[in-house]
C-alpha cells in the first residue's frame, strides 16, 4: 500500500535513489553505492535469480558484478520512470555484447537486448524491496 503522506519532493528523492541503484551500481559499476542506498534487509523479488543474489547489499554487488563481467559494454537506459508515494517504477532496456556467462546464459560474443521493469519500495530513505521482471529479446 502506498503512503499517501509522501510529498512530491520525497517522491523525487525516491526516484533519484532508484536511479542511483540502476545507474551507479549496474551501469557505472560503483558497487559501494549498494551500501549507501539499500536497507539492511533489502530483498529482490525475482525468482530467476539465485537466492544469494537476492538479499542485501552483498547480493546486489554479486549480481552487478556478474552482469558487468558478462556484458562489459552494457548500455542501460531508463525508458520511463514513475514515482508515487513510497514506490518507484522504472521501465528499462539494456543492450550489450555477451562476453561471459550470465545466470543460465552462456557467452555468445553477440549483441543482446533485454527489456524489463523494476518496482522499488523506499523506506526511511533506503531501498527496501525491488520487484523485477525482464526478458532477453535475443540472447542466442
Q: Find, among 27, 34, 33, 37, the residue nearest to 88 by Cα.
A: 37
Q: Model confidence at 57, in pLDDT bands (50, 70, 90)?
A: very high
Residue-range domains of the chain with CATH: 8-136 (3.10.450.50)
The pLDDT value recorded for residue 138 is 65
Q: For 71-125, what is each residue's pLDDT tens digit? A: 999 999 999 999 999 999 999 999 999 999 888 888 989 998 999 999 999 999 9
Q: For 86-99, what is each residue's pLDDT tens digit? A: 999 999 999 999 99
* pTM value > 0.85: yes
Strands across the sheet with 111-123, in order?
A: 38-45, 126-136, 111-123, 87-97, 75-84
Amino acid at each position: 500500500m502506498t503512503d499517501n503522506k509522501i510529498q512530491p519532493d520525497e517522491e523525487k528523492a525516491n526516484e533519484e535513489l532508484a536511479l542511483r541503484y540502476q545507474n551507479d551500481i549496474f551501469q557505472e559499476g560503483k558497487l559501494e553505492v549498494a551500501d549507501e542506498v539499500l536497507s539492511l534487509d533489502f530483498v529482490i523479488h525475482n525468482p530467476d535469480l539465485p537466492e544469494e543474489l537476492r538479499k542485501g547489499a552483498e547480493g546486489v554487488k554479486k549480481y552487478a558484478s556478474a552482469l558487468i563481467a558478462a556484458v562489459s559494454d552494457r548500455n542501460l537506459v531508463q525508458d520511463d520512470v514513475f514515482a508515487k508515494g513510497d514506490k518507484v517504477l522504472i521501465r528499462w532496456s539494456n543492450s550489450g555484447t555477451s562476453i561471459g556467462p550470465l545466470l543460465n546464459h552462456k557467452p555468445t560474443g553477440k549483441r543482446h537486448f533485454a527489456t524489463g521493469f523494476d518496482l522499488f519500495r523506499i523506506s526511511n530513505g533506503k531501498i527496501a524491496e525491488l520487484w523485477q521482471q525482464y526478458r532477453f529479446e535475443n540472447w542466442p
